Amino acid sequence: MRLSDINSPLPAGKFYFFKNYIGKNKFLFLLTAVIALLVTFASCGDDDDDGFSNTGTNLTISDIAGSWIATSASFSAPENIDLLADGATVTLVIQPNGNFTFTWKYPGEPDEVSTGKLGFDGQWLALRFDDDPEEVSFFISLVNNILTLRGQVEFDFDDNGIEDLGILEMIMERS
């Protein structure tokens, strides 16, 4: 069977030209295809690749943006620890873009400052600290400018070198 015997909408000469052109210029053809694919993926992504949503089931980032100070902060592990008992203060500043800064101040000690990004996963507030890629999820409630955060965390609260698993609960009011 010859190429001219094939019942095709393209004349055999044009098909041969296309096939010959691709055969001789594979590199150029593949390079063009890869560039087109990269441009497509780059233009389809959103600017915020952290995977967080600015909107939760009941709240948005704009609802909780601002400065907060803890009126209660406790860690429940094998025992209940009041984190504010010795005069410590805990503040949380949330930017409208979801960036946050936690500051823990203990009398006579340097401030402990943690930064990161937060957003919503349904009804949960998800946090990712800049120095730890693991996400931490908190139950969140906002009623009459009182922000409540409750979630399971690991932290070495007794300074023995071992991180303890427990529940951190903070009740905060706008400052």
All domains of the chain in start order, with CATH: 3-44 (no CATH), 61-174 (2.40.128.490)
Look at residues 68, 59, 84 and name the one whose alpha carbon lies nearest to residue 142.
59
Q: How confident is the model at residue 24 (pLDDT cuts 50, 70, 90)?
A: low
**Nearest to residue 64, comparing CAs of 151, 135, 171, 146?**
146
Could you tell me the pLDDT band of residue 171, with boundaries at 50, 70 and 90? very high
The pTM score is 0.68
Q: Could you report the per-residue pLDDT of 134-156, keeping only the tens digit for each? A: 888 999 999 999 999 999 888 77
Phi (first) and psi of residue 24, to 5 degrees: -80, -25
Q: Which pLDDT band holds residue 63 (cuts at 50, 70, 90)?
A: very high
What integer is the mean pLDDT of 121-130? 91
The alpha-helical segments, DSSP class H, found in 10-148 are 12-24, 26-44, 61-64
107 pLDDT higher than 60: yes
58/125 Cα distance (integer angstroms) = 11
